[in-house]
Amino acid sequence: MSVSLRHGGVRRNLSDRRARPGPPNDSEYGLLALMISKIEVIDVACIGCGTCWVACPQAFKEHDIGDDLKALPTGGLGDEHIMRAAAEGCPTLAISLLDEAGVVLFPSEEARAALRASTDW
């Protein structure tokens, strides 16, 4: 059965619409979500926005150093998807996700280079 909707002079076939994506799954992140074994935070890059420790308190905590707040890894690991989302939400890409061998899984060097290029004045 096909249902049509007319909106703003445009006729749309509702049967062709795709469902909204659900929460991320392993196929979207590949094996990355399953390989995170360590978190590092670049202290000088962290601006203390708090996104990470609010999103994943199992893996991040706030550290008060005088007038500034910085993120610190707790030493624990949270849900892989939430850790990835927290790292992706870091505006300065100060959070690195590493595997057991110490290989940086996130962010890519290209992402960090793009951020540096966008902030060069």
Residues 9-68 pLDDT 10s: 444 444 444 443 444 444 444 544 458 999 999 999 999 999 999 999 999 999 998 889
CATH no. for 21-119: 3.30.70.20
Residue 94 near residue 40 (C-beta atoms within 8 A): no
Residue 89: predicted pLDDT: 94
- The values of phi and psi at residue 100, to 5°, are -60, -30
Residue 34: predicted pLDDT: 55
Residue 24: predicted pLDDT: 46
pLDDT in tens, 75-105: 999 999 999 999 999 999 999 999 999 999 9
Residue 20: predicted pLDDT: 39
Residue 105: predicted pLDDT: 93
Give first-to-last CA distance, the chain, whole Å.
56
Where in the chain are the domains? 21-119
